[in-house]
Amino acid sequence: MAHIIDGKHAAASVIETVSSAAKTLEQETGIKPGLAVVIVGNDPASHAYVNSKSKMAKQCGFNSIQHSLPEETKQEELEALVAELNADPSIHGILVQLPLPQHLNAEPIIQSIAPEKDVDGLNVVNAGKLATGDLASGLISCTPAGALILINKIHGADLSGLNAVVIGRSNLFGKPMGLLLLSANATVTMAHSRSKDLAGICRGADILVAAVGRPHMVKASWVKPGATVIDVGINRVPAPDKGEGMSKITGDVAYDECAEVAGAITPVPGGVGPMTIAMLMANTLVAAHRAAG
């Protein structure tokens, strides 16, 4: 059976370090890291994520601000809020929760976030720094940064000679994950829904990272024996065993069968998810440190 990678434990350790560094920063400079999280609309799952981000920011001793805007918010109103947060010296990190409602155009909003406050790493400046191998001066997307820490726990920091396959090519996860793995010297394949023989590509992976948004798509027959399997999926599925109308969160990996083949595997929940929030706190702390000079 595979080693189960405990994301909750790893995240708790990041949170402890961040909380203590935030305290020191405030004592030495008077600067309290500030995180503003913006959510538009009523999607219950997005509200749950955003609430846990705001709550964790408070727990880290940050100035934690949440802006919950109504579904009918106009593009100009959201842009005005981002401009206000960009200009607010008490805010060091800005996160606009995605997806936005259909009538809003997310890209110009994301690009209007000041690069030094872009704790999602989605601004072209931050994405470009990552793409050109500058991992030090920008901000890196939280979920891939957190997934890499879990991968490093199994394989160390240098992934030379290892084949990594990332399924999914989003700006928020797949692309930055591929670039981070490449920077760590892995041989990286970016696979996606249009790839031919996805199962065959995955079978070549020493490190298999799934971010497809399809529950249990990755089967045991896709996994090379001994491989490290990182499941980034957060899918809500019906759970009739928990009672009528109940649901649960499950990953993109058929966990039970893959755990029999893999060398190490992340569970869902309790794997990559907690690391995302922890890295958001780490990015906000870094942004506050830079603002302190």
Binding footprint of ligand GUN, residue count (CB under 6 A): 9
> Measured between alpha carbons, how far is 287 from 284 in angstroms, rounded to an integer?
5
Q: How far is the CB of 260 from ligand GUN (least distance, A)?
A: 30
> Measured between alpha carbons, how far is 131 from 102 in angstroms, rounded to an integer?
29
Site residues for ligand GUN, 96-155, by CB under 6 A, read 96-98, 120, 142-143
Binding mask 254-293 for ligand GUN (x = CB under 6 A): ----------------------x-----------------
Q: Are 95 and 37 in contact (CB under 8 A)?
A: yes
Asked about 129 being catalytic, the answer comes back as: no
Q: What is the DSSP string of 68-96?
A: EE-TT--HHHHHHHHHHHHH-TT--EEEE
Q: How far is the CB of 83 from ligand GUN (least distance, A)?
A: 18
Instruction: Flag whether 61 is marked binding.
Output: no
Q: Are 28 and 287 in contact (CB under 8 A)?
A: no
Please pick, among 117, 118, 120, 231, the residue that the annotation labels catalytic: 120
Asked about 97 being catalytic, the answer comes back as: yes
Asked about 120 being catalytic, the answer comes back as: yes
Which amino acid makes up residue 119? Answer: V
Query: HSE (CB half, 13 Å, CA atoms) of 224?
Result: 16
Neighbours of 170 (CB within 10 A): 17
Nearer to ligand GUN, 146 or 155 (CB): 146
Instruction: Flag whether 290 is marked binding.
Output: no
Nearer to ligand GUN, 96 or 288 (CB): 96
Neighbours of 120 (CB within 10 A): 25
Neighbours of 242 (CB within 10 A): 10
Site residues for ligand GUN, 210-229, by CB under 6 A, read none
Q: How far is the CB of 177 from ligand GUN (least distance, A)?
A: 12
Scan for tokens 């001994």, then name that residue.
Answer: 226
Neighbours of 241 (CB within 10 A): 7
Provide the 3-class DSSP secondary structure of residue 215. Answer: coil
Site residues for ligand GUN, 29-68, by CB under 6 A, read none
Q: How far is the CB of 183 from ligand GUN (least distance, A)?
A: 20
Please pick, among 53, 117, 129, 175, the residue that the annotation labels catalytic: 53
Nearer to ligand GUN, 139 or 261 (CB): 139
Q: Are 191 and 201 in contact (CB under 8 A)?
A: yes
Instruction: Flag whether 141 is marked binding.
Output: no
Instruction: Flag whether 214 is marked binding.
Output: no
User: Which of 64, 129, 60, 69 minimizes the C-alpha distance to 92?
Assistant: 64
Nearer to ligand GUN, 25 or 113 (CB): 113
Please state the residue numbers annotated as binding site: 168-170, 234
Please state the residue numbers annotated as binding site for NADP(+): 168-170, 234
Binding site for ligand GUN (CB under 6 A): 95-98, 120, 142-143, 172, 276
Q: Which residues are catalytic?
A: 53, 97, 120
